[in-house]
């Protein structure tokens, strides 16, 4: 009798363990993606092709929207997401803060999809006129580097202006009520300001910044799930190439998601870079320059090595061997 009870107990124990294992597996097999109100991930989410591809690997997809790159990377850092997209500057600040992240891929440059704006009736006529003025931006976002480079080009120091750090919605409000003199912002907020507020552009990124969009993952996730990451980048690239060839269709699809009129959305869509690729040596060098610049300005506390946080696709490893 005792043997029967013991066996039953063992069976129950194994069943419980198996159930626990299944639950843990289910949790582990969810890819949590962070995205923003722009870019290829918005299109990928709308298309639904990633979910179909990853379902074949037993992986579910969970999407979370963030107002900007710094907030998204904070989510990556604390473990609330596994993968996300940001501009070129947020990963530098995140790495400097100790985030365990890896650069996975990058979109081609899109230098005109970010800009330094002033009100249409502002007396400020050039970047040089910003000396002593208040400039609002999202701290650590892609436009932070644009501001630094625009000031350098105009012969000004970063300390020559007063920075006001606010997320996009609050920044626009401060800009509209005249609490600040200029606003550095990216699409689609940039396109919305151009069309709705009739602002003037003092300087966009052309000729001074690349404004790459980077796809990043937590180091543990990328190392443990290389096949998922590869599939994800392939789908991002595919939807990007399709989008580049079909801007009108993309505009119709994305405008309702962004809550913006079609004419504003179309501007953002056409200025965006499409065709994600794995990280190249040239991209690493450009990103290293950004990291060095922010360290020299004492905006980050330590020097960084970008090459130390680049993910290598398994296929590339196999080819090298």
Task: Convert the pLDDT of each residue in 110-134 to its tens digit.
Answer: 999 999 999 999 999 999 999 999 9
Q: What is the mean pLDDT of residues 45-70?
A: 92
Q: In which residue are the tokens 């892609």 written?
A: 142
Q: What is the pLDDT of residues 256-277, one digit of tens each?
A: 888 899 999 999 999 999 999 9
Closest CA to 211 of 269, 267, 273: 273
Residues 232 and 105 in one domain: yes
Query: 128 and 259 share a domain?
Result: no
Domain boundary among 204, 224, 252: 204
pTM tops 0.85, yes or no: no
Are residues 55 and 45 part of one domain? yes
pLDDT category at 160 given cuts 50, 70, 90 is very high
Quickly state the pLDDT bin for 316 (edges 50, 70, 90).
Answer: low
Asked which of 204, 231, 250 is the last residue of a domain, the reply is 204
Residue 36 pLDDT level (bands cut at 50, 70, 90)? confident
Is residue 6 very low, low, confident or very high in pLDDT (cuts 50, 70, 90)? very low
CATH code for the domain in which residue 158 is found: 3.40.190.10
C-alpha to C-alpha distance for 42 and 256, rounded to whole angstroms: 11
Residue 278: φ, ψ to 5°: -65, 160
- Does one domain contain both 180 and 122? yes
Do residues 118 and 100 share a domain? no
- 287 neighbors 216 (Cβ within 8 angstroms): no
Which residue range(s) make up the domain with 173?
Answer: 111-204
């Amino acid at each position: 009798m005792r043997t029967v009870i013991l066996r039953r107990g063992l069976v129950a124990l194994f069943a419980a363990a198996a159930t626990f294992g299944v639950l843990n597996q289910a949790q582990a097999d969810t890819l949590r993606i962070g995205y923003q109100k722009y870019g290829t991930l918005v299109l990928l989410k709308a298309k639904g092709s990633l979910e179909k591809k990853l379902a074949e690997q037993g992986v579910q997809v969970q999407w979370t929207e963030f107002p900007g790159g710094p907030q998204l990377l904070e989510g990556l850092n604390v473990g609330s997401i596994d993968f996300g997209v940001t501009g070129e500057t947020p990963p530098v600040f995140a790495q400097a803060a100790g985030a365990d992240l890896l650069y996975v891929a990058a979109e081609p440059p899109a230098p005109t999809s970010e800009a330094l704006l002033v009100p249409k009736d502002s007396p400020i006529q050039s970047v040089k006129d910003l000396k002593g003025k208040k400039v609002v931006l999202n701290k650590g976002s892609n436009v932070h580097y644009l501001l630094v480079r625009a000031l350098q080009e105009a012969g000004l120091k970063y300390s020559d202006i007063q920075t006001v750090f606010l997320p996009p919605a609050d920044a626009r409000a401060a800009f509209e009520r005249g609490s600040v003199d200029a606003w550095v912002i990216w699409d689609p907020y940039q396109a919305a300001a151009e069309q709705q507020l009739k602002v003037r552009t003092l300087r966009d990124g052309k000729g001074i910044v690349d404004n790459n969009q980077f796809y990043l993952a937590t180091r543990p996730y990328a190392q443990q799930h290389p096949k998922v990451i590869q599939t994800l980048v392939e789908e991002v690239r595919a939807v990007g190439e399709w989008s580049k060839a079909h801007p009108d269709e993309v505009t119709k699809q994305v405008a309702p998601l962004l809550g913006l009129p079609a004419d504003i959305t179309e501007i953002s869509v056409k200025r965006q870079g499409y065709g994600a690729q794995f990280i190249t040596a040239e991209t690493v060098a450009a990103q290293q320059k950004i990291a060095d610049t922010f360290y020299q300005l004492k905006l980050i506390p330590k020097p960084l090595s970008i090459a130390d946080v680049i993910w290598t696709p398994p296929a590339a490893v196999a080819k090298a061997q």
